[in-house]
Chain A
């Protein structure tokens, strides 16, 4: 179990409830932390798509056809789309289709596709070092954060780039489940990294 909500959203736009729910449960088997939103009507989709801004969009190909004539395509320009279809050869020029899932595919095919889609698009930055205790380097960074240093100061002191500090901070949050500076400070004191 990951201790942080993965910040990613999947939207499933599909009228057939059985298919939408089925897809939803297959995705959850691989990654329980993803936020999945189901939408089954065109109006609802158009009203909410900008608010939701999903990272991945699973959509029935007939519904996508309807969108391509009525919908402002630019709203979906950068959204990665997975088509739910029964037609292997269907294609859309205006959208970023990264995969097709065929309705008659057998279990293992669907599962492999979904697993690939998720790992290719959602792999955390530091996947191998994602669990367990924080490293020595991360400890040093927690100390410096707890002492009130900014990312820039920490970078200067440890001779690394601010971007690297940001990456370290993300990984620290993933491991500890603590997002805020004051939370990290309490952590540092409780674990005797710093004294008060």
Chain B
């Protein structure tokens, strides 16, 4: 089902509660009353069409940008992507880490070395994800924002700075790797090979969070690959040809 702006915000969440952290990235909090998506977006100064596209893309993985998402401002997209980064690092990864630490504390001595092993696997993954995210925040996104500035205003000093960047979006596209592979592994390891434990609830919650993080990451990557990259390439072509 396609989500449209006349839908009530409350109905959106009743339909798919996993959208909650997504709408939080737009600074929208609970207590929607009977307001529609459009009403809430307007009151918060959010680009309604952009919002609708983001929630659709998250809700339905087959949703593809047609006229949607084309010629969207890169800074708008990047603003959203950065907020997701923040959520991955400061909320999701931290939650999972806390739970894994708690799990290590609670398990009995025979199991502990095995759980420690799973913990170290997670830590390794966390490091990789942070490096990936840092690279985007510090190299890719600033590049794209500058690109858009040059494209829109054609100022000389921006162009000079732009030329100094030895970077292009194709480089990003080709090095853009699957960041969710290890979550896939971790889920399988926990589901299949975790030692028998009494901490069933804790294990379940770790898994729930891993599933959510994985889905969020895949969606994030889809927006980068299907929206950010194609839009940036179009701008690059125009800027370079001028």
CB-nearest residue of chain B to A179: B181
With an 8 A cutoff between CB atoms, is B165 at the interface? no
When distances are taken between beta carbons in the complex, the residues of chain A under 8 Å from B118 are 186
State the 5 A-B residue pairs at the shortest beta-carbon distance, nearest first: A183-B185, A177-B188, A44-B66, A190-B193, A178-B185
Interface of B is mostly: helix
When distances are taken between beta carbons in the complex, the residues of chain B under 8 Å from A43 are 66
Task: Encode A168-179 as 1/0 by CB contact (under 8 A) with B.
Answer: 000000001111
Give the distance in Å from the alpha carbon of A182 to the alpha carbon of B122 in the complex: 10
When distances are taken between beta carbons in the complex, the residues of chain A under 8 Å from B66 are 41, 43-44, 47
With an 8 A cutoff between CB atoms, is B64 at the interface? yes
Give the distance in Å from the alpha carbon of A43 to the alpha carbon of B66 in the complex: 8
Give the distance in Å from the alpha carbon of A17 to the alpha carbon of B3 in the complex: 17
Tally of contact residues, A, Cβ under 8 A: 23
Interface residues of A (CB under 8 A from B): 3, 36-39, 41, 43-44, 47-48, 51, 176-180, 182-183, 186-187, 189-191
With an 8 A cutoff between CB atoms, is B7 at the interface? no
Interface residues of B (CB under 8 A from A): 62, 64, 66, 114, 117-118, 121, 124, 181-182, 184-189, 192-193, 195, 225-226, 230
B117 lies within 8 A of A180 (CB) = no
When distances are taken between beta carbons in the complex, the residues of chain A under 8 Å from B114 are 189-190
CB-nearest residue of chain B to A37: B62
When distances are taken between beta carbons in the complex, the residues of chain B under 8 Å from A186 are 117-118, 121, 185, 189
A183 lies within 8 A of B64 (CB) = no
A188 CB, min distance to chain B CBs, angstroms: 10
CB-nearest residue of chain A to B226: A51
B24 CB, min distance to chain A CBs, angstroms: 28
When distances are taken between beta carbons in the complex, the residues of chain A under 8 Å from B124 are 182
Give the distance in Å from the alpha carbon of A102 to the alpha carbon of B230 in the complex: 36
B184 lies within 8 A of A179 (CB) = yes
B227 CB, min distance to chain A CBs, angstroms: 11
When distances are taken between beta carbons in the complex, the residues of chain A under 8 Å from B225 are 51
